[in-house]
Amino acid sequence: MRCALRRFSLTKAVPLAISRGTTATVEHLLLSVEHEGVTGWGETGGFDTGHRSFTTGSIAAELEALLPTLETLVPEPRQAFDSLLAPLSPPARCAVDLALLDWWGKRLDQPLGRLWGLDHRAVVPTSVTLGLGTVEAVLERLELWWRQLPATRIKLKLGSPAGLDHDRALVEAVRGALARQADRTGVACELQVDANGGWDRDGARAMVGWLGEQGVVLVEQPLPPQADPDADCAAFADLELDCPIPLVADESCWDLSDVVRLAPFVDGVNIKLLKSGGLSEALLMACTARRLGLAVMVGCYSDSALLNGSAAQLLPLVDWPDLDSHLNLLDDPFLPPPLIQDVLQPGRSAGVGVLPCPNGSLADLSPPTLLSTSPC
């Protein structure tokens, strides 16, 4: 098969601040694999969870070294790639896994979710994210979201460097805004909280009980992830006893082994394709989590519509979709998955269900028949 690796940049309309820092622009990678006239695409890029990090440059170097071998192979059967992909970093594996699955779905002319037997009607609203900032800036961001879509699920980032009092002020202010919105629209709004590992043990203990009293529906990664898996589990186990609302692991949960490891100590897991190494592992994780009685969240980093649309193929298995990064981009080179009100839908076209934007930076990927479609 023929393979190509390209870089593209993504610019956020509103920079996002979390406990570890602020992101305004990122550079991502697009891997394409072409065989017998069918092309599959996979996106990847660097990210940082506090205890593990990957740069786009290091991922590009891994993929560039792999390309000569990939080009000697054909895209199926997918199982034949397992030993080749196992040594790669998760984000490098993600690009290859997605490109091969996209190729496979296109070859069979079906979206992946349909090939997996998923019910595309079984989808629930996605959350939109409020980053850290002043109370005024966070409320302004919420109003901006509501001008864009009728969001009913709001994820508020906490773990502010300004401390717990500022975190509490943010929760109270956003709660008030959600109550006023519910009065206006007659539709209840849900508040989720994500500390991104920004609290210590005592702070987390104090916050989770208070968040329960505030009607917050879940708390994500209150404590920093730990490289030692036993210590990581022990920290969740210790906190779970005091936590009256669902406790969700994100930075601590990368792959299937983490789902199994964390299952006794958390109520849900946040699956992201860059952490899992692609959709093959993410599907296993989502199915296993549900079988173990865990709720499933599917999240994103600063990803384009290609990665979020790929993850959207899993949405029928997801309780808390969190795929909003592409909704905050100025220069997404891909067309967004369908959005009905605040419910993101799995794309219905073949493969991962995502097409390049005819006027975007990767417009030369578009087949000629796409050139007459409406601009992004």
Where do contacts with Mg ion occur on this chain (CB under 5 A)?
194, 220, 250
CB of 211 to Mg ion, least distance (A): 15
Q: Is the CB of 31 or the CB of 307 nearer to Mg ion?
A: 307
Name the region of 240 (left: φ>0; alpha: ψ -120 to 50; beta: rest).
alpha
Radius of gyration of the chain (CA): 20
Strand 295-298, strand 320-321: pairing: parallel
Q: Is the CB of 218 or the CB of 362 nearer to Mg ion?
A: 218
Cα distance from N-terminal residue to C-terminal residue, the chain: 30
CB of 161 to Mg ion, least distance (A): 17
Distances (CA, A) of 238 to 112, 131, 223, 261: 39, 27, 11, 15
Q: Which amino acid is at 273?
A: L
- Nearest alpha carbon to residue 122 among 346, 354, 328: 346
- Nearest alpha carbon to residue 11 among 22, 26, 1: 26
CB of 218 to Mg ion, least distance (A): 11
CB of 375 to Mg ion, least distance (A): 33
Q: Is the CB of 250 or the CB of 303 nearer to Mg ion?
A: 250
Q: Is the CB of 118 or the CB of 219 nearer to Mg ion?
A: 219
Distances (CA, A) of 261 to 224, 233, 285: 17, 7, 12
CB of 90 to Mg ion, least distance (A): 16
CB of 172 to Mg ion, least distance (A): 21
Q: Is the CB of 41 or the CB of 47 nearer to Mg ion?
A: 47
CB of 361 to Mg ion, least distance (A): 28
Q: Is the CB of 218 or the CB of 357 nearer to Mg ion?
A: 218
Q: Is the CB of 220 or the CB of 324 nearer to Mg ion?
A: 220
